[in-house]
């Protein structure tokens, strides 16, 4: 678990960030519906972006899939510029190639210029 300096909006608490690696038979849309249900059950309110929230689950990678839909993008389109995303993912999957370019998660982290602090807890 990591504490991450908030981005997008000042004057809010730091976020807690973790990455989870697993396997699923879900199609991307079904996985998105599943994680949205978990967020709702945790009390997440829809609406405001960039602010404190009970739970925010992002689908960062899904094997070698590339999905670009208005409601879903895999790999996550901002992962390579967000240290708070890359640090936890690099801990569990540093050598995983990120489509479509094939750079590894470690490569993306080493190239990331995000100045926001991420600290292990």
Length of the chain in terms of residues written: 121
Output b/e per residue, 4-32; b: 16+ Cβ within 10 A: bebbeeeeeeebebebeeeeeeeebeebb
Q: For this structure, is 68 an active site residue? A: no
- Active-site residue identified among 25, 58, 68, 114: 58
- CB-count burial class (<10 Å; 0-12, 13-18, 19+) for 93: middle
Q: For this structure, is 58 an active site residue? A: yes
Q: Residue 37 to residues 30, 58, 67: CA-CA distances in angstroms?
A: 11, 13, 20
Q: For this structure, is 53 an active site residue? A: yes
- Active-site residue identified among 9, 21, 37, 56: 56
- Active-site residue identified among 29, 44, 49, 65: 44
Catalytic residues: 44, 53, 56, 58
């Amino acid at each position: 678990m990591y504490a991450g300096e908030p981005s997008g909006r000042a004057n809010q608490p730091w976020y807690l960030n973790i990455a989870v690696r697993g396997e699923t038979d879900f199609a991307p849309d079904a996985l998105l519906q599943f994680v949205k249900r978990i967020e709702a059950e945790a009390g997440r309110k829809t609406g405001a972006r960039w602010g404190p929230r009970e739970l925010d689950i992002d689908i960062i990678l899904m094997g070698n899939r590339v999905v670009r839909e208005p409601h879903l993008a895999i790999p996550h389109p901002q992962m390579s510029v967000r240290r708070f995303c890359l640090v936890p993912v690099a801990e569990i999957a540093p050598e995983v190639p990120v489509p479509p370019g094939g750079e590894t998660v470690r490569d993306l982290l080493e190239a990331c210029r995000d100045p926001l602090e991420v600290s292990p807890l």
